[in-house]
Structure 1
């Protein structure tokens, strides 16, 4: 009833899950992840106990494949209808598809990823996701790699019953809001006619509001740039004597505080200030 990818970033610092389904609020049931440890997707008559069990097992240093075997062995429910994917801090991912899952059902795993789906349009869904995952190796941001794979699966037919919900979860040490959380991205589309496209829109907004600026792109608040910023801020009623203070006052109202750097301005922030 669902297709997902569980993966680790190339540098090993981030872990996450992207999932879509003809199921209400799939993000509330399928994904779980713990920074520096790993991630899991439990689906097809999902056993939600797999989520804490997986993370506890991975914390002991066991492999993703062993974790999958342990989950299945310890499940007293309808294991033949279960599906699960796991990735740990290193090594290959692990995936399991019970023999009684609604067809088409199956998965694939490799270094740092596991892809799985059930009640799919066909094996091409998993295959397309794998191709997209490998093709995005040049993208350093795990959230965008996961979403690219999910989008490929959706375009290949996805859940054969149709579309309803999608979710994206990414964790990494200190990468959450304000540096006080490990939850880097946690976006959910619970009920929508085109949930993967909506998830893409939300990730673009998340990037604007919550990603930190690229130091190489920062513009010093001097000269003509400082003059323009001051004029724009004055026009919006932010007239504090210090330019950094005035910019921070405006940015806090616009939810752009994560992109502030003293003495400089992010080009994306400047575009927003200009009203673009």
Structure 2
């Protein structure tokens, strides 16, 4: 059992029925211990002094027909230290519940709404929870992966874990027994920003692959030819990939020294698409399209006689 001082969201998409969890913490590999999901049943995140068995019992209760509050209460009744636990959950219908034990490290709290539960402990400010809830509510027109990502980014921007940053994760299930998306940043100076970058890569490379995987209610089939062809290419040549020398390019473009590692990691994640475009433009030879234009700011001061 380990203490995970964390901020997270468990949520359901009313349009697709997808269930998901997004979480960030200042401990490594938060995605390996906190999120637990079952397609069509529910999504749970367990944190503070983590007890994964509570998440399993909650999902069992939801699967047996209990509502979220009843499933949460029944699970907590089996635990000898519920005061140390923090849990958030949403069921397959979008009903939510949460628990923050009195022994969780302050600032600690939670908030539930239609289709979501947000929670956190050892936060820099109680406003982190409000910022996360607001981000989820205001992104209703987007797919679940984007809503979860924006919620996590809002919590990060509002201060997040007061100890700092280390890991983040995003996991979604749809109809299958395997996840439709399962992304993790296990050790990084800017894990939420890095998770955003990885999500962009996954949308181009992983999501099409998962969409072609076997389904429990249909023939296994094979991957579409275009997806197979894309995945046979080296990672750096696939859609969504950043150039291998992006750190050197970032340093060159904005003048940031390579030894500024933490700032470099943050900017690399934020501006990867822009830097990739700059790299592409630099590689173009446009001399046959337009002659080179030289700008000389000293020209007006050279004493060129006027007619």
TM-score, shorter chain, exceeding 0.5? yes
Higher relative contact order (CA 8 A, sep 6+): 1
1:69 CA drift (Å): 1.2
The equivalent position to 1:102 in structure 2, one of 102, 105, 126, is 105
Report the counterpart of residue 193 of structure 1 in structure 2.
Answer: 189
Deviation at 1:144, TM superposition (A): 1.1
Matches of 1:161 and 1:248, distance apart in 2: 42
Match of 2:92 in 1: 89
Partner of 1:69: 73
Q: Over aligned residues, Cα RMSD in angstroms? A: 2.2
In 2: Cα distance, 1:249 partner to 1:207 partner: 15
Q: Following the alignment from structure 2 to structure 1, what is the Cα–Cα distance between the partners of residues 150 and 206?
A: 20
How far apart in 2 are the matches of 1:102 and 1:36? 32
Runs of 5+ in structure 1 lacking a partner? 175-180, 214-243, 260-274
Q: Give CA deviations for 1:90-142 in whole Å, capped at 9, x if unaligned.
A: 14210000011110000001111101000001111000000000010000x21
Larger radius of gyration: 2
SS at match of 1:75: coil
CA contact (8 A) 1:171 1:184 kept: yes
CA shift at 1:146, angstroms?
Answer: 0.6
Please, which of 160, 178, 182 is the counterpart of residue 182 of structure 1?
178
- Superposed, which structure 2 residues align to 1:93-242 within 5 Å? 93-139=96-142, 141-174=143-176, 182-212=178-208
Say whether the 8 Å CA contact 1:12–1:89 is kept in structure 2: no
Contact 2:18–2:172 (Cα < 8 Å) also in 1: yes
Structure 2, unaligned stretches of length 5 or more?
Answer: 210-223, 240-279, 282-307
Query: May I ask how many residue pairs the two structures share in their alignment?
Result: 220
TM-score normalised by structure 1 residue count: 0.75
Mapped contact 1:64–1:87 kept (Cα < 8 A): yes
* Contact persistence 2:208–2:227 (CA under 8 A): no
On the 8 A contact 2:68/2:90 being kept in 1, the answer is yes
